[in-house]
Amino acid sequence: MDELERKALEYHSAGGIAGKVSVVPTKPCRTAEDLALAYTPGVAKPVLRIEADEEEAYRYTDKGNLVAVISNGTAILGLGDRGALASKPVMEGKGVLFKRFADIDVFDIEIDEKDPERLVDIIASLSPTFGGINLEDIKGPECFRIERELIERCPIPVFHDDQHGTAIIATAGLMNAAEIIGKRLDDMRVVVNGAGAAGISCARMFVAAGVRRENLVMLDSRGVIYRGRDGLTEEKAEFASDTDRRTLAEAVDGADVFMGLSVKGVLTGEMLRTMNHDPVVFAMANPDPEITYEEAMAARSDVVMATGRSDYPNQINNVLGFPFIFRGALDVRATRITEGMKMAAARALAELAKEEVPEEVSAAYGGERFEFGRRYIVPKPFDPRVIEHEAVAVAKAAVADGVARRPITDWDGYRESLRRRMEKYWG
């Protein structure tokens, strides 16, 4: 047993309470009167109010601050299909992050079902309980269909974080990287290596941000996805290119951006040296990236490098996205998360990274100093300003897109309420 395994297993089992989450009541239950109000006969009163008007559930229950984190365990954190039960530590972990960074309550739900149609039926039937649904670690291509059908069936936000979380943070990073190196998104040649849920979503969002579709090449385990190649899924066909390039080495030659969502070691230093000046490399394979930070720096001194790891600069971390996106969506009672809300989140993160970083952020990272530039293109998760920037931007976009059932009009007041809400976590 290595040191990481020992510490991780001890962390998950210590303290006399197994796991990472628990349910804590928010109202007193110390007297007979409390019991009569919490349960029978008092509980009948809000039941009847909700029967008469379903919106009353947001007043009398935790629905408006409760998200379901749901998985069937078919694509666990790069570990693959390990089963629904084995996904529970990850789903509990997501619950911890929701609570810690956005004060959102979570029930983690692991469903032992691989059939997409049945899985959709099960999740849809659970939707009255929640204000939002976060899908997690569900393999592609089924994940696309599952999310799409749930969005149509459920009157609450449904968000598959494996798709959109990475895309939102990576788009923020790409916009800032382009600004730092003095390139325009619509002039940049982009290579996306990996055509799973995250790869497809990143490609879509890059295009929405300004990358020209004809300048983007996508690869899967068989190589370049080109027009006329057989066996393409609907999602892969969307990004089939008119090109005679077939390998990763050929694809990155002269490219401005490498976006890796694949496996370790596929991008070599030699390949990196063939890229355009000031190349942008997002190597997101975890725990071992497509090219190591050290190898990339040795190959190109002008590279702007990001990974999914916390021990290198520019971590593309999904925790910068989902808690704050759901916070904004829940607070305006959004019926769905729109493309506009996702882009608003990315732009808010990109703008925050340009602001002066407060001392408390430096202290959270061992005294390290951060300044907008090649080694700092996205904010840090432990920056307490993220929630007020991102949640407000998402909520505003929901109102603008017409999906907010309870629009906010006092944005300064909302921003201040977020600060007060999070004081107990930041001190």
Nearest Cα to Cα of residue 176 among 349, 339, 297? 349
Identify whether the C-beta of residue 336 lies closer than 8 Å to the C-beta of residue 409. no
Q: Specify the residue for token string 């990472």.
A: 20
From the candidates 7, 11, 39, 45, which is the catalytic residue? Answer: 39
* Cis ω for the linkage preceding 287 (within 30 of 0): yes
Catalytic residue check, 380:
no
Nearest Cα to Cα of residue 98 among 59, 119, 70, 121? 70
Burial call 285-305: b when 16+ CB within 10 Å, e when fewer:
beeebbbbbebbeebbeebbb
d(Cα 66, Cα 243) in Å, to the nearest integer?
47
* Residue spans of alpha helices (H) in 79-191: 88-102, 116-126, 142-153, 161-181
Q: Specify the residue for token string 């590279």.
A: 303
d(Cα 7, Cα 295) in Å, to the nearest integer?
29
From the candidates 11, 63, 88, 94, which is the catalytic residue? Answer: 94
154 half-sphere exposure, CB direction, 13 A CA radius = 30
Catalytic residue check, 114:
no
> 133 is written with which tokens?
């649904």
Identify whether the C-beta of residue 291 lies closer than 8 Å to the C-beta of residue 297. no
Catalytic residues: 39, 94
